[in-house]
Amino acid sequence: MPHTHFLIVDDDERFAALVALKLSAYAQCTVALRGDDAVLQFEHHLREKAPFRAVFMDIEMPGMNGHEVVRQLRDIEERNGVNPVESFKLVMLTAHRDVKNVSKSFFRDRAEAYIPKDSLTNAEAFVHELNKFEIL
């Protein structure tokens, strides 16, 4: 089992399972179907000295949206003294392609990649994109 940990956050259980399956060869994957669960999982793994190397985040979710979750995850790292260079890599996996969400993801949330969900049908292109940003 890989020692790298990824957190996949999406309210669509089937989509989250598909992403976890595609990434399971590269890391141990944890799935959170709600924002509050993602925050708890993130904090737990950080305390256990097994932080997530990357977070794959949906934007549109009930309750807390992806941007709100990311803000809380970044705050947790800051409170725990995580060096920004060692911060988790953020991949936004979303159906949104609008400029507002893309801009928020990169400039405020510090995302490495913004990948439309429909592009996951091509596993080779998905892996290539993640390699390009040194996530895998």
Q: Is 63 exposed, middle or buried (0-12, 13-18, 19+ CB in 10 A)?
A: exposed
The model's pLDDT over 16-26, given as tens digits with 9 standing for 90+, comes to 999 999 999 99
- Please state, for a pLDDT cut of 70, what percent of the chain lies above it: 88
The model's pLDDT over 84-129, given as tens digits with 9 standing for 90+, comes to 888 999 998 877 666 565 555 555 667 787 788 887 777 787 888 8
Apex CA 105: angle with CA 35 and CA 20, to 5°?
A: 50
In this prediction the pTM is 0.88
Residue with tokens 């399956």: 21
Is residue 49 within 8 Å of 86, Cβ to Cβ?
Answer: no
Other C-beta atoms closer than 10 Å to the C-beta of 48 total 9
Domain 5-132, architecture per CATH: 3-Layer(aba) Sandwich (3.40)
Q: Both tokens of residue 81?
A: 């003294």
Domain residue spans in the chain? 5-132
What's the CA gap between 7 and 24, in Å, rounded?
Answer: 11
- In this structure, of 6-10, 13-17, 61-65, 98-102, the range with the lowest mean pLDDT score is 98-102
